[in-house]
Amino acid sequence: MRVLSHHIAIRIIENEHDRLSAVIQGMQHFVRAINKGKKAPDPKVFRAMLVYISEYPQKVHHPKEDQYLFARLRQRTNRINQTLEELESQHKQGESQLCALELALTQYELEGAAAFQSFFDMVETHAKFHSDHMGLEEDVVLPAAIKFLTQDDWAVINAQFAANADPLAGSGYKESLDKLFALIVNIAPAPIGRGPAT
Ligand SMILES: [Fe+2]
Ligand SMILES: [Fe+2]
């Protein structure tokens, strides 16, 4: 559920969720194509997706949620503490899940069909994990933020999230991630990306 808000941080969070969803759908498309016996996309596409998630959602998006959005919310209300704890715990699981996915991909490349089912199941589980996580943030955390945060809180949070989105603010880091996302979109097959359908 999307909230209506003029705060740039909320628009950026929703936009970053859309990008993460697109990448995860690309991962699902990858394993579902193999499962249906279609030509498998190049594994480098899947690895580019893992790198994107590791470099942006994991290193930038989640930490900013923890440090600014969640931290300020805890100062203003205790009504959603349990949800915040759950989300913070999920943020911490992200890196190990990415390692497990890369291992499962490598095993599939080495062993072929024998290792496919566990790789497939892991991708589907990972997709649900992210979808539930972002849904909880959009359905519970963002509405609570609009309700409880002060103008001063928003000034800090908006500035922090806007810094993510400003390519001139960094040292080319954001630009290189945008290029990586564009690469994923260009090589991932339709309907997720703009590459040839498989
Ligand atoms: Fe999150
Ligand atoms: Fe998020």
Model confidence at 41, pLDDT cuts 50, 70, 90, reads confident
Q: How far does the centroid of ligand 2 lie from the alpha carbon of residue 16, in Å? A: 7
**Ligand that comes closest to the CA of residue 63:** 1
Q: Is 6 helix (H, G, I), strand (E, B) or coil?
A: coil
Check pLDDT > 50 for residue 168. no
Please state the domain extents for the chain.
8-187
Residue 42 DSSP label: P
What pTM was estimated for this model as a whole?
0.87
Report the Cα 120 to chain-centroid distance in Å: 19
Check pLDDT > 90 for residue 26. no
What topology does CATH give the domain 8-187? Four Helix Bundle (Hemerythrin (Met), subunit A) (1.20.120)
Q: Is 106 helix (H, G, I), strand (E, B) or coil?
A: helix
pLDDT for 56 equals 84
Q: Is 159 helix (H, G, I), strand (E, B) or coil?
A: helix
Which of the two residues, 2 and 18, has the higher pLDDT score? 18
Model confidence at 180, pLDDT cuts 50, 70, 90, reads confident
Q: How far does the centroid of ligand 1 lie from the alpha carbon of residue 32, in Å? A: 26
Q: How far does the centroid of ligand 2 lie from the alpha carbon of residue 148, in Å? A: 18
pLDDT for 39 equals 76
What are φ and ψ of residue 189, in 5° steps? Answer: -70, 155
Q: What is the pLDDT of residues 46-103, one digit of tens each?
A: 898 898 899 888 988 999 999 999 999 999 999 999 999 999 999 999 889 999 999 9
pLDDT for 193 equals 59
* Mean pLDDT of the chain, nearest integer: 87
Would you list the DSSP string of 19-41?
HHHHHHHHHHHHHHHHHTTPPPP
Q: How far does the centroid of ligand 2 lie from the alpha carbon of residue 60, in Å? A: 10
Residues having C-beta closer than 5 Å to ion ligand 1? 62, 65
Check pLDDT > 90 for residue 43. no
Q: How far apart are CA 64 and CA 54, in angstroms?
A: 14
Q: How far does the centroid of ligand 1 lie from the alpha carbon of residue 92, in Å? A: 10
